[in-house]
Amino acid sequence: MGDIVSSVGRFAPSPTGPLHAGSLVAALGSWLFAKRDGGRWLLRMEDLDTPRVVPGSADDILRTLEALGFEWDGEVVCQSDRTDAYGAAMARLVTSGDVYPCGCSRTEIARAATAPHDVDDEVPYPGTCSGGLPTGKTARAWRVRAGRGGPVVFRDGVMGEQAFDLAAAGGDFVVKRADGLFAYQLAVVVDDAWQGVNQVARGADLLGSTPRQIHLQRLLGYPVPGYAHLPLVTAPRGGKLSKRESAVSLAAGCDLVRDGGRLLISALEFLGQRVPADAGNLPCREILALATAGFDPGRIPRTGGPFPS
The 3-class secondary structure across the chain, one letter per residue, is CCCCCCCEEEECCCCCCCCEHHHHHHHHHHHHHHHCCCCEEEEEECCCCHHHCCCCHHHHHHHHHHHCCCCCCCCCEEHHHCHHHHHHHHHHHHHHCCEEEECCCHHHHHHHCCCCCCCCCCCCCCCCCCCCCCCCCCCCEEEECCCCCCCEEEEECCCEEEEECHHHHCCCEEEECCCCCECHHHHHHHHHHHHCCCEEEEEHHHHHHHHHHHHHHHHHCCCCCEEEEECCEECCCCCCCCCCCCECCCCCCCCHHHHHHHHHHHHHHHCCCCCCCCHHHCCHHHHHHHHHHCCCHHHCCCCCEECCC
pLDDT in tens, 206-255: 999 999 999 999 999 999 999 999 999 998 877 777 666 689 999 999 99
- Give the chain's radius of gyration (CA, Å): 20
In this predicted structure, what is the pLDDT of residue 218? 95
Q: Are 188 and 12 in contact (CB under 8 A)?
A: yes
Q: Are 115 and 156 in contact (CB under 8 A)?
A: no
CA distance 125 to 145: 11
Beta bridge partners of 78: 45
Check: CATH 3.40.50.620 for 8-80+191-306? yes
CA distance 208 to 119: 6
The CATH 3.90.800.10 portion of the chain extends over 83-187
How far from the centroid of its chain's Cα atoms is residue 262's Cα?
A: 25
In this predicted structure, what is the pLDDT of residue 2? 45
Q: Which residues of the chain have pLDDT under 70?
A: 1-5, 113-122, 149, 242-245
In this predicted structure, what is the pLDDT of residue 169? 81
Q: Is 231 exposed, middle or buried (0-12, 13-18, 19+ CB in 10 A)?
A: buried
CATH C-level class of 83-187: alpha beta
Q: What angle do CA 98, 103, 107 make, to 5 degrees?
A: 120
Q: Is this prediction's pTM over 0.85?
A: yes
In this predicted structure, what is the pLDDT of residue 120? 52
List the one residue out of 5, 36, 17, 67 whose CA is nearest residue 271: 36
CA distance 148 to 94: 15
List the one residue out of 22, 16, 86, 25 whose CA is nearest residue 56: 16
Q: Backbone phi, then psi, for 202, in 5-degree steps? A: -155, 180
